[in-house]
Structure 1
């Protein structure tokens, strides 16, 4: 078993000066922590994998294709492979668990 604490993942991500920290990579999936601060631009591009976003904290708008929704703590969103998506109008520091299937590169 592998267990993780959000504060430890956040500290590791911050120490590596990156917006994304992958902490699980298995044959059929990978999981990471994605962080965008309030007002920051989201540089995401479409990915070849299906993705689940689980918002751990923060608030923003999320546009997938032509649809936009508000996301906040507790939001879970499915993004089909290849769909353009981006977080924007980030009003509170955003922390998102990201599940890729199959795993990202």
Structure 2
């Protein structure tokens, strides 16, 4: 089995001035979603039960993971282990991320 996704179409699913997430893939071993946080938005996510990999597609912000902070921008790839406290903040440019979880469990 295989699937093909158009990134521009996926971005359209999370467009707007409110935080949005769109899960576009779920299999037994992984799930993937686009996650968008507009300038000034508050990231309300809780720790996940799965390991997570973020790819920053657009925008600029800071990421706080277990009390440490990192500036993030386009092209960066970020790993956050399962059950680790994390959140994006100080969003200075609309932030669009591809979030990949494994194994599949979803975005909580």
Task: Tell me which stretches of 4 or more aligned residues in structure 1 moved more than 3 Å.
Answer: none
Q: In the comparison of the two structures, how many residue pairs are matched?
A: 104
- 2:28 paired residue number: 27
The DSSP-based 3-state class of the residue aligned with 1:103 is coil
Are residue 87 (structure 1) and residue 88 (structure 2) matched? yes
What is the rounded CA distance, in whole Å, between the counterparts of 2:75 and 2:12 in structure 1?
A: 21
TM-score by length of 1: 0.92
Q: RMSD over aligned Cα, in angstroms? A: 1.5
- Matching of residues 15-94 of structure 1 within 5 Å: 19-94=20-95
- Unmatched runs of 5 consecutive residues or more in structure 2: none
TM-score by length of 2: 0.90
**Alpha-carbon distance, 1:84 to partner:** 0.4
- Unmatched runs of 5 consecutive residues or more in structure 1: none
What is the rounded CA distance, in whole Å, between the counterparts of 2:62 and 2:14 in structure 1?
A: 23
The DSSP-based 3-state class of the residue aligned with 2:62 is strand
